[in-house]
Amino acid sequence: MHLYLHIPFCKQACHYCDFHFSTNLKSKADLVAAICRELELQKDYLPTRELETIYFGGGTPSLLTEAELGQIFDTIHQFYRVHPSAEITLEANPDDLTAEKLISLKPYINRLSIGLQSFHEPYLRFMNRAHNAAESEASVKRAQDHGFDNLTIDLMYGMSEKMLGMEESETASEDRVWQKDLEMAVALNTPHISAYNLTIEPKTVLGNWLKKGKIKSVNEELSARHFEQMIMYLNASRYEQYEISNFARDGHYARHNSSYWKRRPYLGVGPSAHSFNGPSRQYNIANNALYIQSLTEERLPFEMEILTSYDQVNDYLLTSLRTIWGCDLRIIQELAGIDLRETHKKYLNAFMDYGWVFIEDNVLFLTYNGKLFADRIASDLFVV
């Protein structure tokens, strides 16, 4: 089974981010206590209490002190069993990963996810990241020196200084910057890389700037070009694209994230965290003060959504199609009694004619070209 813990604090707000977090760290101790309370109250949510993966996301979980992390793990060990080979991941920002911090994380964490985003200083400043490019590189090397071999780094593409209104002559070419980012990422020799397209969400600083006309929107052509550039370069560098945004060497797939794509039940703890058990999804309140208050009063602060069989099929289509494991049509048959090859024959035939999908042993896969249209293909196959 799989456990996600949301640590909703950050040192400063990145301009593109619409995750739930607060830059006011005063309530951190109370929030950790509430998380421990929720872990206890939710101990029977999953079919078994044995945890195969634990994932600290956020926010910035590397802001947790050693004592706070220890408190959370004491609670986990009290109410759950952690499998001896469990994958235990913590998201960290480069500026937090001092030698002292890494030593304190070592007894608890066996995989680090480091949010580098870019090595290009103008982009880091544009995103309002708390670190600089030199810190990015140094943090990964320091983590490796401290025995963290199981590392993943996050990158972001689709960025351009032209979004800020600069003229061509004033900017570094976006493709060259992205190529350099990719080369620097590969040189760090981590077994896993995730890379996401910059998206501008309305309730972010970038969303606000876009509305006011201070920046231009993301250029979709540029994003598609960067996506292809990334696949070619990372594949040539022995990284397998096992999910649209995720690349691994030698089978170092992210076990926790893979569980989402394979419809495995997971428990999400902390403000804004989601949980999934097949027939329903739960959404924790995205407000630190109300979350703490609710747990202090022994109430679980979530809303539940009952998923129809069609909802379950559509969720599965959307996530599974993006992976190398593909979408198993037998699972769709089991969930909703539907044979997609019959109900969506027209679409499937068209996608096959375009060379976007193929079916092998009852499993639907995207081709290389199909990956460029993954979301559109999935939504056209949705059952309604």
Q: What is the DSSP string of 202-226?
A: TTSHHHHHHHTTSSPPP-HHHHHHH
> Is there a contact between 28 and 292 (Cβ–Cβ < 8 Å)?
no
Binding piece for ligand SF4, criterion CB under 6 A, among 8-16, 101-109, 118-126, 327-335: 8-16
> Cα angle vertex 252, ends 99, 47, to 5°?
100
350 binding ligand SF4? (CB under 6 A): no
CA dist., res. 213 & res. 164, Å (int): 10
- Which is closer to ligand SF4, CB of 206 or CB of 230? 206
State in angstroms the smallest separation of the CB of 79 from ligand SF4.
27
Interaction residues for ligand SF4, span 103-162 (CB under 6 A)? 115
CA dist., res. 375 & res. 329, Å (int): 18
DSSP state of 109: -
State in angstroms the smallest separation of the CB of 52 from ligand SF4.
25
Identified binder of ligand SF4 from the candidate list 1, 3, 5, 17, rule CB under 6 A:
17
Residues in binding contact with ligand SF4, number by CB under 6 A: 11
State in angstroms the smallest separation of the CB of 115 from ligand SF4.
6
What are the angstrom distances between the C-alpha of 194 and each of 17, 67, 176, 249?
A: 16, 30, 19, 12
CA dist., res. 206 & res. 127, Å (int): 9
State in angstroms the smallest separation of the CB of 228 from ligand SF4.
25
19 binding ligand SF4? (CB under 6 A): yes
Phi, psi torsion values for 358, nearest 5 degrees: -150, 160
Phi, psi torsion values for 34, nearest 5 degrees: -65, -40
Identified binder of ligand SF4 from the candidate list 1, 3, 7, 14, rule CB under 6 A:
14
Interaction residues for ligand SF4, span 24-63 (CB under 6 A)? 58-60
- Which is closer to ligand SF4, CB of 14 or CB of 34? 14
State in angstroms the smallest separation of the CB of 14 from ligand SF4.
3
268 binding ligand SF4? (CB under 6 A): no
Phi, psi torsion values for 319, nearest 5 degrees: -90, -45
Interaction residues for ligand SF4, span 64-93 (CB under 6 A)? 93
- Which is closer to ligand SF4, CB of 119 or CB of 242? 119
21 binding ligand SF4? (CB under 6 A): yes
> Is there a contact between 13 and 59 (Cβ–Cβ < 8 Å)?
no
Binding footprint of ligand SF4 on the chain (CB under 6 A): 10, 13-14, 17, 19, 21, 58-60, 93, 115
